[in-house]
Amino acid sequence: MSDASLPDAPLPDAPLPDAGRNWVDRHAPEGLKPWLKLGRFDRPIGVWLLLLPGWQGVALALAHYRKTPGAYEIWLFIGFALGACLMRAAGCAFNDIVDRDIDRQVARTAARPVASGRISVKAAWAFIVGCSLAALLILLTLNLTAILLGVASLGLVAAYPFMKRITWWPQAWLGLTFNWGALMGYAAAGGFVTTAGLYPILGAYTPLIWAGLWLWLGGVFWTLGYDTIYALQDIEDDAMVGVKSSARRLGGRVRLGVGVFYGLAVIFAAVAGWSANLGAGYFGVLIAYAAHLAWQIRSLRADDPALALRLFKSNREAGLVLLVAITLGALV
């Protein structure tokens, strides 16, 4: 039998362009690599950016109500980490199903598992269902307010992949979605907030979580800034296939735009700390958070995609700085 009559051997799963050196390509079994890449486990920065607002929300509620963390609060940090991994994986898979035709036309995304045909659409849906059911089990361990917020977030998640087709600001929608954990974390750790004496017209037990809302809004603008930086990588391909983004909309004013978004992120973070009665430690470290964002703005160059990716990834450190600020705000 000639070699030409033999079936082709499967090609190894090559690293994706923006994944860098990662544990999936280096250590995962070959058969698992497409599934791990479907959930973006080769790029953990997305898990961090989804997780950190949730942790910040939990920490802010504990600081606001001067709570000492017990078993439930410790579980919140663990549960939010697991939930972030699962829901980010499900959201990315859903995004890949919706965007598979566009992804095939963009150099950075053409090799994604669904776009490249390594994973079928039907199999990707099964992956989404499995991740979502596991996340639901975690959600049900939280209080009612957090559960309702978690259910409400599904609308944001489902709509996100379509935003790039109908608005120049899909990054703003991502901000609403990715930072929803700040509201959930604050509600899970703090529950309903009494407003008597502060907002009498609202009644004594209106479930409005003002400090958590300010934290969420700060996170929305933070995400709008860092995802605009991320979108600079695809600006030429997006123009060719007709995909909209804040980076395209801002054009030559992208640095100014990111500066405005980051400035608002710092302002709302400061208001959140003030609303939660945090101490001087919070505002001292908040200066470091603002400085990190200012460094990103100063370093940004619209014509350097590699730099844009590095700046985007540096937001894990920015989010951790804000988490440290909240923690110190309760102590100092």
Q: What is the pLDDT of residues 104-115, one digit of tens each?
A: 888 788 888 999
Q: Is residue 6 part of a domain?
A: no
CA pseudo-torsion sign 261, 175, 215, 292: negative
CA separation for the pair 65, 278 (Å, rounded): 10
Provide mean pLDDT across the span 215-221: 98
Contact 210, 193 (CB under 8 A): yes
Residue 165 in this model has a pLDDT that exceeds 50: yes
Q: Is residue 210 part of a domain?
A: yes
Residue 208 in this model has a pLDDT that exceeds 70: no
**Residue 195: closest CA among 211, 182, 183:** 211
User: Which of 51-55, 57-61, 193-197, 235-239 has the least mean pLDDT?
Assistant: 193-197
Provide mean pLDDT across the span 32-47: 92
Q: Is residue 160 part of a domain?
A: yes
CA separation for the pair 156, 170 (Å, rounded): 11
Residue with the bigger pLDDT between 238 and 275: it is 275
The pLDDT-based confidence of 14 (bands split at 50, 70, 90) is low
Residue 58 in this model has a pLDDT that exceeds 80: yes
Percent over 90 (pLDDT), the chain: 72
The pLDDT-based confidence of 22 (bands split at 50, 70, 90) is confident
Q: Is residue 23 part of a domain?
A: no
Contacts for 250 with CB less than 8 Å, ≥ 6 apart: 228, 256, 257
Structure tokens at 315: 């937001």
Q: Is residue 256 part of a domain?
A: yes
Structure tokens at 238: 């997006």
Residue 122 in this model has a pLDDT that exceeds 90: yes
Tokens 């200012």 map to which residue?
Answer: 294
Residue 12 in this model has a pLDDT that exceeds 70: no
User: Which of 220-224, 241-245, 264-268 has the least mean pLDDT?
Assistant: 241-245
Q: In whole numbers, what is the pLDDT of the chain averaged over residues?
A: 88
Quote the pLDDT of residue 194.
40
Residue 216 in this model has a pLDDT that exceeds 70: yes
User: Which of 180-184, 195-199, 295-299, 307-311 has the least mean pLDDT?
Assistant: 195-199
Quote the pLDDT of residue 202.
40
Residue 200 in this model has a pLDDT that exceeds 90: no
Residue with the bigger pLDDT between 113 and 17: it is 113
Quote the pLDDT of residue 19.
65
CA separation for the pair 157, 90 (Å, rounded): 10
Contact 34, 42 (CB under 8 A): no
* pTM tops 0.85: yes
CA dist 77 → 68, 135, 220, 289 (Å): 14, 14, 21, 22
**Residue 16: closest CA among 168, 118, 90:** 118
Residue 193 in this model has a pLDDT that exceeds 80: no
Q: Could you tell me the CATH number of the domain that includes residue 116? A: 1.10.357.140
Which tens digits make up the pLDDT trace of 265-291?
999 999 999 999 999 999 999 999 999
Provide mean pLDDT across the span 119-129: 96
Residue 68 in this model has a pLDDT that exceeds 60: yes
The total of other beta-carbon atoms located within 10 Å of residue 70's CB is 8
Quote the pLDDT of residue 285.
97
Contact 208, 193 (CB under 8 A): yes
Residue with the bigger pLDDT between 198 and 235: it is 235
The total number of structural domains in the chain stands at: 1
CA separation for the pair 134, 90 (Å, rounded): 11
CA separation for the pair 224, 214 (Å, rounded): 15
- Supply the range of the domain harboring residue 273: 28-331
203: left (phi over 0), alpha (psi -120 to 50) or beta: left
Quote the pLDDT of residue 185.
95
Q: Is residue 4 part of a domain?
A: no
Quote the pLDDT of residue 77.
97
Q: Is residue 8 part of a domain?
A: no
CA separation for the pair 258, 264 (Å, rounded): 10
Q: Is residue 146 part of a domain?
A: yes
CA dist 21 → 16, 42, 46, 69, 104 (Å): 10, 9, 15, 36, 23
CA pseudo-torsion sign 20, 22, 26, 29: negative
Contacts for 91 with CB less than 8 Å, ≥ 6 apart: 157, 160
